[in-house]
Each structure stands twice: as C-alpha cells, then as structure tokens.
Amino acid sequence: MFTHKIDEEVSLKLIELNDAQEIFELTDRSRNYLKQWLPWVDFTTKVEDTKEFIKSCLKSYAENQSLHTVILYNGTVVGTAGYNNINWLNKTAYIGYWLGEAFQGNGIMTKVAKTLTDYAFRDLKLNKVEIRAAVENKKSRSIPERLGFVQEGCIRQAEWLYDHYVDHVVYGVLAEEWKKNRSKA
C-alpha cells in the first residue's frame, strides 16, 4: 500500500474503496466550487459513483498505469491527487488534483504536487512530469508556476466543461531541471 507522510499535517494514501463515503461527502460539500473546473462533478450524485471511480483507479494502479491518492490533512480526507496517467515508454507522469473548498489557501496542494514530482523522479525514475489546468483556473495554475514548472503551451478546447470548451495550459518539468532547481533551494 502506498502511503507517504509529507509533514506533520499532510500525507498521501493510496485511494481505497473504504474512502468512498468521505470522498463523496467532500465532493458534495464542495460541489459548486469544484464544478467550475471539473467535468465529472454532475455525474457524481451518489456514493456508488465514487466507488466506481475508485475501482477504476485501483484497476489502473494494479496495471501500473496510474497512482491515485487521497490527501489527508490532520487525518481528514480533503481531496485527491496523483498521476492520472504514467507513460512508461516516454517516462512521463501527468499529475491531477482537486481539493475541497474549505481547505483552499493552506498550501496543501503545493506540498502535494511537490511531493508527487519528487517521487516521480526519485523513485519512479521518470524524466518528465506534466500538470495541465484550464487557462482561467488561476488557483490550479499557480501550483506548477510556484514549483518552477515551465509553461509549454496551450491546448485549445482541450476539455468539455458542461456547456462549453476550455483551453488548457500545459506545464512541464524535466528531471534534470527539477534536480538543479532543488539544489539551489
């Protein structure tokens, strides 16, 4: 089982079926907030929907194609984060994340994204980590920017968000850049 303590308050744990109730309740409490940028919120209407999502995450993890974790803040589930996909051929991980509205502004997601990036390079021996976010999603974009990722481009109409398309900004960092930036810090 994957678990990783980031600091005294924040840790990551491999997502499990017994997390479904807590994740669903967090989603439900943050529904309007999350819906601004996440296209799956309206399709998550009952705990069973969250269980199906977790089953797909665990299947993908077992096939060594992804890693989905719950974010624990002082022992409480406050969001999810992980590698939505790991491309072993190209040695690239694609980080995705979301955080409940009440837990915004505490630096949690920056710590989580930093930890996932460190893990991708140090433990998985990958060459690149990418984070994508909607152009207008300033909070999500600030995370890779804060961590020194390079803005690589914009994918037009990358995602259908309920009734309109949104463009995505692609951020990336290479293992050699990350190592160099960390040695300076």
Residue of 184 and 48 predicted with greater confidence? 48
Q: In the predicted model, what is the mean pLDDT of the chain?
A: 95
Query: What pLDDT does 182 receive?
Result: 79
Arithmetic mean of pLDDT, 158-170: 96
22: nearest Cα among 70, 75, 69, 77: 77
% of the chain at pLDDT higher than 70: 97
Domain ranges of the chain: 3-184
Question: What is the domain class of 3-184 according to CATH?
Answer: alpha beta
What is the per-residue pLDDT for 143?
Answer: 97
Residue 37 main-chain phi, psi, to 5 deg? -130, -10
What pLDDT does 181 receive? 84
- With beta carbons less than 8 A apart as the criterion, state whether 28 and 35 touch: no
Please tell me the predicted confidence (pLDDT) of residue 45: 96
Which residues are within 8 A (CB) of 168 and not within 5 positions of it... i.e. 6 or more apart?
Answer: 132, 133, 134, 135, 154, 155, 158, 159
- Is pLDDT of 93 > 80? yes
pLDDT band at 139 (very low <50, low <70, confident <90, very high): very high
Instruction: Check residue 66 and report its DSSP letter.
Output: -
Residue 40 pLDDT exceeds 80: yes
Q: Given this model, what pLDDT does residue 3 score?
A: 86
145 has pLDDT over 70: yes
For the ranges 16-25, 48-57, 135-144, 175-184, the lowest mean pLDDT is seen at 175-184
pLDDT tens by residue, 110-135: 999 999 999 999 999 999 999 999 99
101 confidence band (pLDDT: 50, 70, 90): very high
